[in-house]
Amino acid sequence: MDIRYEVNPIDFKSYSTSEVREAFLIESLFQTDTLQWTYSHYDRLVIGGAVPVEKTLRLDWSDVLKTAYFLERREIAVINIGGEGTVRVDGEVYTLVKRDCLYIGKGKEVVQFESEDAAYPARFYLVSATAHQSYPTKKLPISEAVPTKLGTDAESNRRTIYKYIHQEGIQSCQLMVGMTLLEPNNMWNTMPAHLHDRRMEAYLYFDMEPSSRVMHLMGQPNETRHIIVKNEQAIISPPWSIHSGVGTSHYTFIWAMAGENYTFTDMDPVPMEALT
């Protein structure tokens, strides 16, 4: 498990390109027959990837968390971005096709991941936050998720947002998770930018061609930096940072939040003239 510590925004001003990448970019989430984990000290969010091909993978790392099992004091969201796969939760079987979401609440002891077809394996994206009570395990297929259409071609940000885990959707302690799909020829997300100092956020960019890149913008509004992101790489976004991006082509990203409150609309808008 890769450990990432919090960064002071004053120190961030002096970071080099490599230091910014080392602190906030997760480069290798999806590796065959392994679980890859990054532990962020921002709201203790754990970000992972599982690609079961020849093996069944089991949710673990309790030795790092110092608990009897992974979900003893945690909850987790699982979103499949690959081929069909199954998640077994204490013996219950959930089948996920691409873009389906599964929420697993605190207290579930045995969680296993498998692929239906080794030639086109599932690629499970995992986001876990600490939890104080248990909510039911629940699956939300992409076919049943309610889409919200936003943006315009003129602003290059026509997109569809699916909210999976939130106040009006799957219930959780503090996780909020959803997915944004940009339409072809639309490349901007979350601009004009915003802040939510009560919550951190993680972005997973995917559905990109190997040669495509996203320029992810971050930092305080008056001290912005960028990270160049490849397909299936993730960004840790601190509460004091904007989180926006523009791609060389359209892309999809999963956003996940955890922190002080549970209000999706708690956002502080940043005027364009405030960005430097």
Q: Which residues are annotated as a binding site for Zn(2+)?
A: 194, 196, 201, 243
Largest CA distance in the chain: 54
Break the chain down into helix, strand, coil percent, rounded to 5. Answer: 10, 45, 50
Please give the Cα distance from 146 to 1 (Å, whole number).
34
127: CB partners within 8 A, 6+ apart: 45, 46, 47, 48, 76, 77, 175, 177, 202, 254, 256
For 134, the token pair is: 């248990």
Residue 256, SS3? strand
- Mark the binding-site residues, compressed into ranges: 194, 196, 201, 243
Radius of gyration of the chain (CA): 18
Q: How far is residue 96's CA from residue 124's CA, in Å, rounded to a whole number?
A: 9
**What's the rounded Cα separation, in Å, for the pair 150 and 128?**
28
270 CB neighbour count, 10 Å cutoff: 18
DSSP code of residue 51: B
DSSP secondary structure letter of residue 32: B
Contacts of 119 (CB under 8 A, 6+ apart): none
